[in-house]
Each structure stands twice: as C-alpha cells, then as structure tokens.
Amino acid sequence: MSVPDLTGDVKRARRVVVRGRSPVSGDTVVLETDAFEAVALQHELDHTDGLLFLDRVAGAHALHARQTYL
C-alpha cells in the first residue's frame, strides 16, 4: 500500500473512456468501462502520473485511519 496507515475518500468518475495508442502497432485503442473498473483504472492511471490518493483526497476531513480486521 502506498500509505499503509491511512485511507481516504476520493471522488472519481463512475464511467470513463480512455484513448491511447498501441506501442506495438500504433493503432488507436479505446477502453470504455464503468463502476468499480472505472474507479480502479483512474487510481492506476494516477500512479503512472506519480500521484497518490493523498493528491486527490477532498481534504483532511476525508482522511481516515485504516482499520485492521483479524
């Protein structure tokens, strides 16, 4: 985990369309997704831009101590 002791509320789109180019063929690639996959994709794309959820969290009020369940 990027920040092991914290979790937070980050607003993300519930539907996304991502366009890019295939590194092999150069063809345009389009990915459309929604729900959990859209949120997860945005999270991973943030990592490729060097961002953590802390860069997107709404503010200190939206941070929470991560709970451990045994």
Which residue among 44, 49, 60, 67 is the active-site one?
A: 44
Residue 37 appears among annotated catalytic residues: no
**Phi and psi angles of residue 39, each rounded to the nearest 5 degrees, phi first:** -65, -45
**Phi and psi angles of residue 27, each rounded to the nearest 5 degrees, phi first:** -70, 150
Q: Are 27 and 21 in contact (CB under 8 A)?
A: yes
Active site residues: 44
